[in-house]
Amino acid sequence: MPELPEVETVRRVLKKSLVGKRIKDIDIRYNPIIENDTNSFKENVIGKEIIDIARYGKYLMFCLNKGFILSHLRMEGKYFYMKEKMDNKHIHVVFYFDDDSILYYQDVRKFGRMQYLDGDIYNIPPLSLMGPDLVLNNDISIIDLYNKIHKSNKTIKQLLLDQGIVAGLGNIYVDEVLYASHISPKKKGDKITKRNIEDIIKESKRILSKAIELKGTTIRSYTSSLGVIGGYQDFLQVHTKIVCPNCKMTLNRVKIEGRMTYYCKKCQRWGKWRR
DNA sequence: ACTCCTTCCTGGAAGC
DNA sequence: TGCTTCCAGGAAGGAG
């Protein structure tokens, strides 16, 4: 399940190979992956050159000499770039380049999406609707974030998963950030303090940067994306863990709004002004 | 305008 | 052993 560090890792790998390549043809084998009409997607993309690969939150952006392909990997989306032909039933989109190299998009659960967009990409949906990227944005406003979170009575876990509030966190790293910030995932937005927000931003930056350094987290991953195996799983403190690394108490494993959540009831107390 | 619920999809695990 | 059922999970879209 790629979150910000995994998408950033994919971006770095793809950027090395793909910049300067011209798209000669596209094979779309499963139409729902493409959010545009498939014919107009092809018309817009074939013949274009990839000039850069960027990222915002969990979105990967193939910047073309005109327009962009915005790609979201969701749960299982993976890119494979190679000179050789490959085939399996989970490859849904294939990009052929003018130098006869090939980019395969594989997605076991078919949840991933991609679309062609043109214009001021950051000022049109979906990117215009997103909160600040936790890694790209070095100047996230504590007060703006506090205002957004403080007026809600949803849980902080749910709020941090909302990409409109902050961009990049998914289920794994939210648990890690809340643990590091000593905040219960069940704490409601209107009980969150400015100090909590500062901790969340600081810990998010620390954890996500470290995870990027280690090329992301690989758990329950049968195939490594592009042969890249992440190393951050060795640094996870609570997600998928049994015992709190700090107090050694058994961790709570509960569902919060449908998401499996790991936390330490003792070290992440809510209602108390631990922080 | 907000929140909650359902849908998408598959392989692997669990249950019988 | 082999079949069936359950479940995870990000985000969109519908319902209330």
- Say whether both A15 and A65 belong to one domain: yes
- Say whether both A48 and A95 belong to one domain: yes
Residue that finishes a domain, picked among A101, A129, A157? A129
> Which nt is closest to the CA of A153, judged by C1'?
B3
For residue A274, is it within any domain? no
Q: Residue A5 CA to C4 C1' — how many Å? A: 38
Q: What is the pLDDT of residue A46?
A: 98
Query: Using CA atoms, how far apart are residues A154 and A156, in angstroms rounded to an integer?
Result: 7
Q: How many domains does chain A divide into?
A: 2
The one-character DSSP state at A136 is T
- Say whether both A59 and A87 belong to one domain: yes
Nearest partner of A156 among A247, A5, A237, A268, judged by Cα: A268
> Which nt is closest to the CA of A255, judged by C1'?
C8
- Say whether both A90 and A176 belong to one domain: no
What token pair was written down for A9? 């890792």
What token pair was written down for A274? 């631990």
- Say whether both A115 and A203 belong to one domain: no
Does the bond joining A132 to the residue before it have cis omega, within 30 degrees of 0?
Answer: no
- Say whether both A17 and A108 belong to one domain: yes
For residue A163, is it within any domain? yes
**Which residues of A does the annotation mark as catalytic?**
2-3, 58, 259
Structural contact between residues A45 and A52, judged by C-beta atoms closer than 8 angstroms: no
Exposed/middle/buried for A54, CB within 10 Å: 0-12, 13-18, 19+?
middle
Residues, chain A, total?
275
Nearest partner of A56 among A107, A144, A121, A147, judged by Cα: A121
CATH number at residue A253: 1.10.8.50
- Say whether both A15 and A123 belong to one domain: yes
- Say whether both A119 and A154 belong to one domain: no
Q: What is the pLDDT of residue A234?
A: 84
CATH number at residue A94: 3.20.190.10
For residue A269, is it within any domain? no
For residue A82, is it within any domain? yes
For residue A116, is it within any domain? yes
Closest CA to the C1' of C10: that residue is A74
- Say whether both A81 and A176 belong to one domain: no
For residue A272, is it within any domain? no
Contacts of strand B, CB cut-off 7 Å? A 32, 89-90, 108-111, 152-154, 222, 258
275 residues of chain A, pLDDT tens digit each: 789 999 999 999 999 999 999 999 999 999 999 999 999 999 999 999 999 999 999 999 999 999 999 999 998 899 999 999 998 899 999 999 999 999 999 999 999 999 999 999 999 999 999 999 999 998 999 999 999 999 898 999 999 999 999 999 999 999 999 999 999 999 999 999 999 999 999 999 999 999 999 888 877 654 445 557 788 888 899 988 899 999 999 999 999 988 999 999 999 986 444 44
> A235's torsion region: left (phi>0), alpha (psi -120 to 50) or beta?
alpha
What token pair was written down for A151? 């007026």
Q: Residue A231 CA to B9 C1' — how many Å? A: 28
Q: Residue A142 CA to B11 C1' — how many Å? A: 42
Expressed as residue numbers, the domain containing A85 is 4-129
Number of H helices, E strands in chain A: 6, 10
For residue A188, is it within any domain? yes
- Say whether both A157 and A117 belong to one domain: no
Nearest partner of A208 among A16, A58, A107, judged by Cα: A58
Contacts of strand C, CB cut-off 7 Å? A 1, 3, 57-58, 72, 74-75, 109, 111, 126, 161, 163, 170-171, 255, 258-260
For residue A270, is it within any domain? no
> Which nt is closest to the CA of A168, judged by C1'?
C10
- Say whether both A78 and A173 belong to one domain: no
Residue that finishes a domain, picked among A129, A151, A176? A129
Structural contact between residues A8 and A212, judged by C-beta atoms closer than 8 angstroms: yes
C-alpha to C-alpha distances, A25 to A63, A98, A178, A197, nearest whole angstrom: 17, 9, 45, 47
Query: Using CA atoms, how far apart are residues A79 and A236, in angstroms rounded to an integer?
Result: 25
Q: Residue A59 CA to B12 C1' — how many Å? A: 28
> Which nt is closest to the CA of A130, judged by C1'?
C11
- Say whether both A94 and A117 belong to one domain: yes
Enumerate the nucleotides of strand C whose atoms come under 7 Å of any protein CB.
8-12
Phi, psi values for residue A51, rounded to 5°: -105, -20
Residue that finishes a domain, picked among A95, A129, A163? A129
Q: What is the pLDDT of residue A230?
A: 84
Query: Using CA atoms, how far apart are residues A173 and A115, in angstroms rounded to an integer?
Result: 26
Q: Residue A253 CA to B14 C1' — how many Å? A: 19
